[in-house]
């Protein structure tokens, strides 16, 4: 629409009133045409002009009489004044952009910039010129730096920036931890380190405080990739109504995201020249890897894009494929893809939990996995440079991992149950029990420092349950010893730990030593023990691999456990507990934290959330194990016990304790009794540990791999993922060469290479 046709739709008296405005009357026609060219409708343009009148009145009260008197600072101040008024805030933003494009106002820095503004600009220049950061990274660092400068009240007291101590930094991190998770807190720490490093390099800080900042611990593969079943994703696409242009655009956008696994910024960056219709290819510019990806354009994708270009894409000189449906006309932002997906999920009525646009990329990778595509092919389709990035999606291929889980051991005969007091007659071995704590707080000479030390570490996202318990034991020793902590007191404390093995004793002493290093930072006279005074690490205890025959005997013996009034299903509870520990290789803590909602009976899956190193994983069950678990859960309604989703999966069954599961102590005591009944003892005459069942599962999975004639090298990555390890290197710790494993290994070797040793090796 040109200016003349638009002005004809406005009443002459109204248009005359707009032209009579002292400040913006001369440019009101040009501003109207500018809005029309950007795709604004007539009704919207009228509301924009109405907002300009409010801006005019406000600026005139500020003493602006001509347009030449208006500065960029005035426009920004007006926007700040009316930012909460939707009728005025939008017109001010449009008017300011129009005036800058026409050169009527010039963007200038503030006349009297604040100290925080100046410091942010200086830091931005340093990141741009010295560190070579991108503009988006510089803006992110400047926003984070504003939080630190405000915390130090830099506008009021600029000199306080040169009086920074480690305690000040830790107080800021503890404050930031209240509004940031561990991942966000990493960026806060990185920004603060960069700023303090720059301050130290310029000589404003004499002490290299950037080297003393501890960062929160974040581990690889903590969270599971999010994916949708392919049928559900297709149902979402079919639910998009395409009778309007916006529906065509949203369908084409989400179709490319689902069928090509594109990221949000890759979708909005597609231009018309990136589509080669004759060669049937689609070029994707990857901002993350700085490379271009050439993908085949299928007939279906080509037809969808062609229909969108003919019927839905508005006429525009812009070359981006996807444009905004509302004025101002322009390319979509990456955040718009999230909004479009969220809106379409809500309108579809499907039970889909919105977790971000990467949901479609993960679903695409999982679909390729289940179609039989190799890891290399999936990596090429996703544009990965490293196959390790693609292996993240292997954690979702539960059907391929189902063969790793062990079946239920069978053919076990129940043994005679030994008395409950049988465990008291076992030979004593080194115990890891510390002396009893007398209180739950710190009261020794380092009490305040210990509280500060623990608070700082916990603010960085660390649980620190074992560390806090050890420090409380040490604090209790200092209260009892009543002597300054030096070499003699250190030796006495080491003597109290004499009942621990060398490795555990070294770990306890290192916890205390790390605190003393922290305390010496501000108290140089603090005595810190040398590492040579700590005991050397001892060898790992060799796990007792429990054979399937022994496990079958233990499971059969659980039927003879006495039934308690408070736990009518005690035999079934213990059977399913030891079955999951052995067949799935679960840790004891993972078993105790399982809830009913973590079991998917339809998919035969267990979901392990927030386990060791904050990792989550999916554990597919063998068909026989899933059958046993279904039967176990079906028994609760028969005894008038209703299963709640948040109830522990392995429930104690106590009346009035519907939220309490069995305890680790209860499982260990029952395990000792069952092993004693079945005669499963080691060379010391003691039963194996409960954790040895995890070792037994790993060895059993490798044994089954050899028996089936499979490649063990192909099993190790799957076994590592099944057990929740980042790398197969961690899984090697669980593998032992048992006599049974040695036998099947030699059988395969002789079957493959036996001909070489006939006739003395002669050909």
DSSP-assigned states of every residue in 14-76: HHHHHHT-TTTGGGHHHHHHHHHHTT--HHHHHHHHHHHHHHHHHHHHTT--SGGG--HHHHH
**What would the two tokens of residue 726 be?**
């980042």
The string of pLDDT tens digits covering residues 184-217 is 999 999 999 999 999 999 998 988 989 888 888 8
Is 647 found in the same domain as 763?
yes
| Boundary residue ending a domain (510, 533, 556) | 533
The whole-number average pLDDT for the span 342-349 is 93
pLDDT band at 11 (very low <50, low <70, confident <90, very high): low
If asked whether residues 526 and 546 sit together in one domain, one would say no
| Distant-in-sequence, close-in-space partners of 424: CB < 8 Å, separation ≥ 6 | none
Predicted confidence at residue 654, as pLDDT, reads 61
Structural domain boundaries, residue 527: 447-533
At residue 432, the pLDDT reads 44
Q: Torsion angle of alpha carbons 576, 582, 584, 587, nearest 10°? A: 90
Chain position carrying tokens 């939080």: 147
Whether residue 248 is contained in a domain is answered as yes
d(CA 670, CA 660): 18
For the cut 70, the answer to whether the pLDDT of residue 7 exceeds it is: no
Helices (H) and strands (E) in the chain, counts: 32, 6
Measured distance CA(636)–CA(653) in Å, rounded: 9
Is position 721 within any domain?
yes
Helices (H), 429-501: 447-459, 465-481, 487-496
Q: Are residues 95 and 126 both part of a single domain?
A: no
Is 652 among the domain residues? yes
**pLDDT band of 6, cuts 50, 70, 90:** low
Q: Exposed, middle or buried: residue 558 (CB in 10 Å: 0-12, 13-18, 19+)?
A: buried
Q: Tell me, what's the pLDDT at 13?
A: 63
pLDDT-derived band at 436 (thresholds 50, 70, 90) equals: very low
549 and 529 housed in the same domain:
no
Query: What tens digit of pLDDT does each residue of 259-284 get?
Result: 999 999 999 999 999 999 999 999 99
Q: If we measure between CA atoms, which residue out of 450, 430, 427, 428 comes closest to residue 497?
A: 430
Q: Looking at the structure, tell me whether residues 277 and 388 fall in a common domain.
A: yes
| pLDDT of amino acid 268 | 92
So what's the pLDDT on residue 38? Answer: 80
Whether 752 and 659 share a structural domain: yes
Report yes or no on 33 lying in a domain.
yes
In a domain, 433, yes or no: no
By the 10 Å C-beta count (0-12 exposed, 13-18 middle, 19+ buried), 31 is classed as buried
Identify the CATH number of the domain in which residue 241 sits: 1.10.443.10
* In the block, residue with structure tokens 């070029």: 283
Indicate if 474 and 590 belong to the same structural domain: no
Q: Report the C-alpha gap between 144 and 193 in whole angstroms.
A: 12
- Reported confidence tier of residue 69, pLDDT bands at 50, 70, 90: confident
Domain count, the chain: 5
pLDDT at 757: 59
Q: What is the pLDDT of residues 101-139, one digit of tens each?
A: 888 887 666 556 788 889 999 999 999 999 999 888 999
Over the stretch 370-386, which tens digit does the pLDDT of each residue have?
A: 887 877 888 888 888 87
| Closest by Cα among 696, 684, 761 to 734 | 696
List, by residue number, the catalytic residues: 263, 288, 358, 361, 384, 393
Most confident of 157-166, 188-197, 226-235, 435-444: 188-197
Residues 59 and 172 in one domain: no
Mean residue pLDDT of the chain comes to 86
Residue 413 lies in a domain: no
Higher-pLDDT residue of 691 and 37 is 691
State the residue for tokens 């049937």: 280
| Token pair listed for 638 | 């028969």
Do residues 509 and 546 both lie within one domain? no
Residue 523 has pLDDT above 60, yes or no: yes
Residue 408 domain-assigned? no
**What is the band of 235 on the pLDDT scale with cuts at 50, 70, 90?**
very high
Matching residue, tokens 């695409």: 364
Give, in order, the Cα–Cα distances in Å from 524 to each of 87, 171, 208: 62, 21, 17
């Amino acid at each position: 629409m040109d200016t003349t046709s638009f002005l004809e739709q406005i009443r002459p008296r109204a248009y005359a009133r707009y032209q009579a405005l002292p400040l913006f009357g001369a440019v009101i026609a040009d501003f109207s045409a500018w809005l029309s060219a950007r795709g604004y409708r007539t009704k919207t343009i009228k509301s924009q002009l109405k907002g300009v009148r409010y801006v005019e009145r406000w600026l005139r009260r500020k003493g602006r009489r001509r347009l030449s008197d208006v500065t960029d600072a005035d426009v920004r101040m007006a926007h700040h004044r009316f930012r909460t008024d939707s009728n005025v805030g939008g017109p001010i933003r449009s008017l300011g952009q129009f005036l800058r494009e026409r050169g009527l106002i010039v963007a200038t820095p503030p006349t009297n910039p604040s100290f925080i503004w100046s410091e942010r600009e200086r830091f931005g220049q340093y990141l741009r010129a010295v560190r070579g950061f991108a503009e988006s990274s510089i803006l992110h660092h400047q926003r984070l730096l504003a939080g630190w400068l405000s915390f130090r009240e830099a506008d009021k007291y600029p000199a306080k920036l040169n009086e920074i101590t480690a305690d000040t930094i830790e107080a800021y991190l503890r404050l930031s931890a209240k509004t940031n998770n561990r991942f966000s807190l990493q960026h806060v720490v990185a920004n603060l380190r960069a700023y303090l490093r720059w301050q130290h390099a310029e000589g404003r800080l004499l002490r290299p405080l950037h080297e003393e900042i501890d960062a929160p611990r974040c581990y690889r593969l903590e969270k599971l990739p999010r994916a949708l079943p392919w049928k559900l994703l297709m149902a979402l696409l079919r639910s998009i109504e395409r009778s309007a242009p916006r529906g065509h655009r949203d369908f084409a956008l989400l179709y490319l995201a689902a069928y090509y696994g594109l990221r949000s910024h890759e979708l909005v960056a597609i231009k018309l020249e990136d589509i080669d219709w004759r060669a049937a290819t689609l070029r994707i510019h990857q901002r993350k890897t700085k490379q271009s990806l050439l993908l085949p354009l299928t007939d279906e994708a080509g037809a969808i894009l062609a229909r969108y270009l003919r019927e839905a894409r508005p006429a525009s000189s812009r070359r981006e494929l996807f444009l905004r449906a509302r004025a101002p006309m322009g390319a979509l932002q990456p955040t718009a893809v999230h909004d479009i997906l969220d809106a379409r999920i809500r309108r579809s009525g499907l039970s889909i939990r919105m977790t971000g646009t990467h949901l479609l990329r993960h679903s695409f990778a999982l679909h390729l996995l289940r179609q039989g595509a190799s890891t290399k092919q999936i990596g090429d389709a996703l544009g990965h440079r490293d196959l390790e990035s693609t292996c993240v999606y292997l954690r979702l291929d539960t059907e391929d991992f189902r063969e790793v889980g062990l079946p239920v051991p069978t053919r076990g005969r129940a043994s005679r149950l030994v008395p409950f007091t049988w465990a008291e007659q076992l030979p004593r071995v080194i115990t890891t029990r510390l002396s009893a704590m007398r209180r739950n707080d710190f009261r020794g000479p380092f009490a305040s420092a210990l509280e500060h030390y623990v608070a700082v570490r916990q603010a960085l996202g660390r649980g620190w349950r074992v560390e806090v318990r050890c420090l409380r034991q040490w604090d209790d020793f200092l209260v009892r010893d009543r002597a300054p902590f030096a070499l003699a007191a250190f030796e006495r404390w080491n003597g109290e730990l004499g009942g621990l093995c060398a490795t555990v004793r070294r770990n306890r002493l290192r916890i205390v030593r790390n605190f003393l290093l922290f305390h010496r930072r501000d108290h140089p006279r603090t005595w810190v023990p040398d590492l040579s005074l700590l005991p050397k690490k001892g060898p790992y205890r060799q796990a007792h691999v429990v054979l399937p025959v022994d496990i079958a005997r233990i499971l059969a013996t659980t039927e003879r456990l006495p039934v308690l009034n408070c736990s009518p299903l005690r035999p079934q509870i213990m059977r399913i507990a030891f079955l999951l520990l052995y067949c799935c290789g679960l840790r004891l803590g993972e078993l105790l934290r399982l809830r009913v909602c973590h079991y998917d009976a339809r998919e035969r899956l267990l979901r392990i959330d927030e386990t060791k190193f904050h990792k989550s994983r999916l554990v597919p069950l063998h068909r026989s194990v899933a059958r046993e678990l279904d039967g176990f859960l079906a028994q609760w309604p028969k005894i008038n016990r209703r299963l709640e989703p948040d109830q522990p999966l392995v429930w104690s069954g106590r009346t009035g304790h519907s939220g309490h599961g069995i305890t680790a102590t209860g499982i260990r005591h029952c395990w000792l009794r069952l092993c004693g009944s079945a005669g499963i003892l080691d060379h010391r005459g003691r039963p194996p540990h409960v954790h040895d069942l995890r070792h037994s599962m790993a060895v059993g999975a490798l044994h089954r791999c050899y028996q089936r004639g499979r490649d063990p090298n192909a099993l190790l990555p799957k076994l590592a993922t099944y057990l929740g390890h980042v790398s197969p290197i961690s899984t090697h710790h669980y593998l032992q060469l048992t006599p049974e494993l040695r036998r099947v290994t030699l059988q395969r070797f002789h079957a493959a290479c036996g001909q070489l040793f006939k006739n003395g090796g002669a050909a």
